[in-house]
């Protein structure tokens, strides 16, 4: 694999380090399957020839024990609380880079040098405007439409406007499509918000940074000069960095699966947005705010803590613990600091929901029950608080997630297209329907 500049992107090799012998106890037949090892992480059993050798499939609902691809982009060790992008720790990237540097890293394999950074920023900046006819799409939606419904529609519609970047076999067109998606997503997201509140669309400004531009297009109006607070812009930038990619999750796998059929990149990213929309995936920070509303006041926290500890009570504390990270979410510490910086610059001290959140955080970090079970506040807990404090409605939370994740999706899509081992996705199944029955004509059915 090569970057757009023709230089190789570092990628280790998958090595066979042995075999695993599988014995069919019903026949006594044994099969040796290759045991594979990547650069780090668990080894994998290569089952590609299992069906040909045995006539059996593997059964793995949710693909929780199945590697669907090789990837050199993101690595997660949930037990140790590690998240790496192209080998760099997320903590180092969040503290020392801006979002577009991370985009360059994910997309092209390396952090940019000063000239590359300048060139990349210019490219993205000059792609931020959307076709004027695309803005008319928004008027076809109801004002109360969920912003994610709008984003699914307008992102997929990009393929109707940019025919010069839909040939997935052309590396140059793939890169142009990637640049367009990264650049235009903030514009389209801000337009979705503006349409929902009945305000005029704000055109992007080339003198602003990526995060500043998004905040300007979202909250600025033509009536007056709107200045972006640098603390809020940096907080927005960090939120984007911390959500840029997260390995083979549901939405990323959806993008890869759609892309395996050679669908155009705009359609693939629209499919990722649709998958992210699900509350089990992208709605976690929105769920945090809904939980805070349900608790209602600091005085009621002990009641809900008691319920959270009761296995028979359906109530769960949202934003605590993580399906992947069995230790501390490495992104949470960064987001916690950013959260306090935002609350401080906005002078927010007495907001009821935020008071509840801060008390919950204190309890979770000190209560033996939560400490022993490693139910620490995660990135969604803090990002939900930050976004609410900045003035975003909860319906926009998942849109911001999609905006940030676009670079991860398009990087994963591009890697898949360039991988000669990839085939069209076609999972198998265990059929549990009727094995076959005779057809009965309509006039003889009782």
Specify the DSSP element, H or E, that contains 336: helix 330-346
d(Cα 260, Cα 16) in Å, to the nearest integer?
25
**Which residues are paired to 308 by β-bridges?**
none
Active site residue 380: yes
Catalytic position from the list 98, 237, 329, 380: 380
Residues 369 and 120 sit within 8 Å (Cβ to Cβ): no
Active site residue 25: no
Sheet containing 88-89: give its strands across: 74-77, 82-85, 88-89
Note every long-range contact of 130-135, with CB atoms under 8 Å and residues 24 or more positions apart, other chains counting: 130/184, 130/187, 130/188, 130/191, 131/161, 133/161, 134/158, 134/161, 134/188, 135/191, 135/201
Residues 326 and 374 sit within 8 Å (Cβ to Cβ): yes
Closest by CA to 70, choosing from 1, 6, 13, is 13
Say how many residues make up the chain.
446
Catalytic position from the list 322, 344, 353, 367: 322
Say which DSSP state 320 is in: B
Active site residues: 322, 380
């Amino acid at each position: 694999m090569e970057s757009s500049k023709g230089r190789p992107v570092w990628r280790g090799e998958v090595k066979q380090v042995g075999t695993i012998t599988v014995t069919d106890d019903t026949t006594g037949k044994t099969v040796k399957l290759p045991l594979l090892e990547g650069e780090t992480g668990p080894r994998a059993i290569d089952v590609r020839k299992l069906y040909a050798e045995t006539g059996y499939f593997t059964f793995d609902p949710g693909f929780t024990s199945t590697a669907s691809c090789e990837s050199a982009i993101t690595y997660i060790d949930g037990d140790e609380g590690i998240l790496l992008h192209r080998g760099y720790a997320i903590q180092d990237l969040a503290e020392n880079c801006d979002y577009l540097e991370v985009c360059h890293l994910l997309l092209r394999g390396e952090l940019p040098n000063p000239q590359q950074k300048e060139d990349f920023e210019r490219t993205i900046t000059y792609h931020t405007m959307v076709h004027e006819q695309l803005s008319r799409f928004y008027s076809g939606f109801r004002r109360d439409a969920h912003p994610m419904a709008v984003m699914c529609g307008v992102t997929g519609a990009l393929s109707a406007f940019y025919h010069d970047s839909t040939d997935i076999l052309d590396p140059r067109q793939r890169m142009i499509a990637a640049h367009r998606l990264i650049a235009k997503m903030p514009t389209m997201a801000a337009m979705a918000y503006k349409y929902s509140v009945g305000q005029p669309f704000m055109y992007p400004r080339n003198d602003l940074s990526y995060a500043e531009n998004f905040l300007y297009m979202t909250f600025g109006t033509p009536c007056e000069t709107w200045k972006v607070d640098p603390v809020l812009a940096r907080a927005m930038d960090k939120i984007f960095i911390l959500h840029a990619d997260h390995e083979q999750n549901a939405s990323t796998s959806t993008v890869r699966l759609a892309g395996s059929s050679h669908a155009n990149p705009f359609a693939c990213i629209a499919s990722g947005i649709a998958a992210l929309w699900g509350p089990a995936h992208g709605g976690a920070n929105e769920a945090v705010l809904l939980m805070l509303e349900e608790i209602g006041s600091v005085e009621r926290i002990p009641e809900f803590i008691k319920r959270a500890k009761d296995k028979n009570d359906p109530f769960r504390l949202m934003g605590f613990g993580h399906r992947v990270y069995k230790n501390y979410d490495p992104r949470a510490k960064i987001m916690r600091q950013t959260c306090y910086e935002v609350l401080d610059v906005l002078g927010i001290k007495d907001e009821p929901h935020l008071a509840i959140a801060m008390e919950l955080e204190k309890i979770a970090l000190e209560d033996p029950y939560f400490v022993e079970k490693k139910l620490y506040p995660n990135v969604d807990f803090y990002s939900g608080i930050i976004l609410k404090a900045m003035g975003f409605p909860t319906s926009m939370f998942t849109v911001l997630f999609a905006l940030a994740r676009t670079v991860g999706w398009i990087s994963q899509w591009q890697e898949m297209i360039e991988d000669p081992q990839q085939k069209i996705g076609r999972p198998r199944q265990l059929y549990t329907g009727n094995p076959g029955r005779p057809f009965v004509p309509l006039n003889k059915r009782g």
